[in-house]
Amino acid sequence: MPQGPVVYRQKLATRLAHWLWAVSLFFLMLTGLQIFNAFPSLHIGQESGFDYDNAILAIGARETGSGLQGVTRILGTEFDTTGVLGVSGGEIRAFPAALTIPSRTSLATGRLIHFFFAWVLVGTLGVWLLASAVNGHLSQLVPTFADLKALPRDLADHARLRIHHTAGYNVLQKLAYASVLFLALPLMILTGLSMSPGFNAAAPWLLDLFQGRQTARTIHFLTMLGLLGFFVVHMAMILLAGPLNEMRSILTGWYRTDGDDHA
């Protein structure tokens, strides 16, 4: 456990935004899976191939002698995913009820809640970006040249689970947070908007950028998986670094450092 001085690490705007993002992303993911269930395949291009195959992922079900079988096809290879994908709880549904909001099938409700939290996410990101540009937090997220030089050592330390508690973020933290905030979230928002026929009229260049509405939908899904991966690592790092101290810093802003040469 760190024994050094307690420093004020996260400003109020960052703490508030963090929790609004956490709640929003929770709802966005589970309502997103509800929406995905209405058409459980991912395609490359402007349209979804029905008379030809441009799917990279398809979740379905088929009747077998021993009952319903859930089948997931990824890049042409089929997997039996009965009980999780395709068939779960005795019914045909791509993602199981435990992973969708609402739990029962309701595309209309899923969409309603999805767009509600999309607004919360976009609004929070906008306000936080402005606030962080003003209060200087943005520059704390951008890796410096010195950070990048320290990258190999930081990687080695993380690999040995040797966690340092410093007033600023270490380079892997900066890279992780910056890629979520400046890459993944904007990508989610832009690919989400690319699926809107209305927004397509407003900004047709987005369709060119993502090479079609269905490709945008696929990128939206894959970026979701990326964010899920970030969440898993984020939780693991909090547990490894000392969950009490980490939780205090994201609730109150105050963080106990090692207080030695790493400050």
| Interaction site with other proteins (CB under 8 A) | 22, 26, 30, 35-36, 38-39, 46-52, 97-104, 106-109, 111-113, 115-116, 119, 193, 195-204, 207, 213-214, 217, 235, 238, 243-244, 247
CB of 70 to other proteins, least distance (A): 18
**Shorter beta-carbon distance to other proteins: residue 177 or 231:** 231
* Angle formed by the axes of helices 171-178 and 213-241, nearest 10°: 150
Q: How far is CA 162 from CA 150, 153, 241, 242, in A?
A: 15, 11, 9, 12
| C-alpha pair distances (Å), 123 with each of 111, 117, 158 | 18, 9, 34
Choice between 152 and 204, CB closer to other proteins: 204
Minimum distance from residue 201 beta carbon to other proteins (Å): 5
| Least gap, CB of 31 to other proteins (angstroms) | 9
Nearer to other proteins by Cβ, of 103 and 144: the residue is 103
Q: Please state, as a whole number, how many other Cβ atoms lie within 10 Å of the Cβ of residue 132.
A: 19
- Tokens 């407003």 identify what position? 202
- Output DSSP code: residue 4: S
DSSP sequence for 244-256: HHHHHHHHTSEEE
**Nearer to other proteins (CB atom), residue 152 or residue 229:** 229
CB of 215 to other proteins, least distance (A): 11
Block residue for tokens 């209060």: 135
CA 85/CA 95 separation, integer angstroms? 5
Query: Cα separation of 192 and 182, whole Å?
Result: 16
> Measured from the CB atom, is 159 or 201 closer to other proteins?
201
Give the nearer residue to other proteins in terms of CB position, either 168 or 226.
226
Q: How far is the CB of 212 from other proteins (least distance, A)?
A: 8
Cβ proximity to other proteins: between 46 and 135 the closer is 46
Burial of 246 (0-12, 13-18, 19+ CB in 10 A): middle
- Residue 251 CB, nearest approach to other proteins (Å): 8
Query: Shortest approach of other proteins to residue 1 CB, angstroms?
Result: 15
